[in-house]
Amino acid sequence: MGMFYHLRASPWIEKSLYAHILNLTASWQVKALSLDEKVGSVTVTVGIAENVLLSCPTCGKTCPVHDHRHRKWRHLDTCQFTTVVEADVPRIMCPDHGCQTLPVPWAGPGSRYTLLFESFVISWLKISTTDAVRKQLRLSWNAVDNIMQRAVQTWDSPAVKHHSPHVTSVLMRSPSKRDISTSPSSLIHRARRWNSGMIAVLKVWRVTQKPG
C-alpha cells in the first residue's frame, strides 16, 4: 500500500504506469484513477484519446462513432486492492459491416476480465484445482471455467491439434480416474511427454473439473 500512495503523489506517473500495464495503444488513455479504501478497490477509467479517427475492426475503414457501451473488467489486484478497469467502449457505424464494437487492447471479446488477469488464473490452474483457485481469487466456478474456455479457444489451432494425436484420442472417450489424474501438474507432465499443446491439457482438465 505504501508504494500505491507514493505513486498517488505523481498522477502522471501513476497513469503512465497503468497505461503500460494495460498495454494501451495510442488510441487509448488512462483518464482517471480512483481509490476506495472502504471497499478496498481501485478503479482505472480508460477512454479514447482526443482527435482519434476510429476504424471498422473488420475492414479498417474510418467510420463515425455510433454510440458507446459502458464496460468493466476485473484486473490484477493493486497490492491488496481489487482493481477494476472501466471504459465507455465506442461502437462505430460502418457502411459495409454495420454497427461494430471496437476491440480493447487489455481484454478479449466478451470477457469480463483483462488478459493479464486471465493469464494469472491459467497460471494458477497449472498447479492447483479449480475450486482452490476460485476461492483464492474470489471467483465463481463458472467464471474460472469461462476463462479456461477462452484459453482453449486461443490455443485451439490446427497446428496444435496436428501435434497432439494421442491426446485427441483421449478426448474422444469419457475420462476416468484410470485415464486421467485431476491434478493439473500431472496433466501438464503428460502433455509434455506426449509432445502436445496446452489446449489438450485444458480440454481434458475441464472435463475432470466439472462439478457433479
pLDDT tens track for 114-152: 999 999 999 898 888 889 999 999 999 999 999 988 887
Pair 60, 132 in one domain? no
Q: By residue range, what is the domain housing residue 79?
A: 2-107
Of 107, 130, 162, the position where a domain reaches its end is: 107
Last residue of one domain, picked from the residues 87, 107, 127: 107
| 7 and 102, same domain (yes or no) | yes
**In this predicted structure, what is the pLDDT of residue 117?**
95
Q: What is the pLDDT of residue 206?
A: 55
**pLDDT confidence of residue 166:** 41
Is 113 a domain residue? no
155, 181: one domain:
yes
66, 7: one domain: yes
Q: Three cell numbers at 107?
A: 481484454
d(CA 136, CA 124): 10
Instruction: Give yes or no: residues 13 and 102 share one domain.
Output: yes
Residues 93 and 16 placed together within one structural domain of the fold? yes
pLDDT of residue 203: 53
28: phi then psi, degrees, rounded to nearest 5: -115, 150
- On the CB side of 205, CA atoms within 13 Å amount to 29
Report the 10 Å Cβ neighbour count for 210. 9
pTM of the model: 0.70
Whole-number pLDDT of residue 164: 45
pLDDT of residue 151: 83
Instruction: State how far the Cα of 182 lies from the Cα of 69, in Å rounded to an integer.
Output: 40
pLDDT at 12: 66
Residues in the chain with pLDDT < 50? 1-7, 9, 157, 159-185, 187-198
Compute the distance between CA of residue 207 and CA of residue 182 in angstroms, rounded to an integer.
Answer: 9
Q: What is the pLDDT of residue 9?
A: 46
Count: domains in the chain: 2
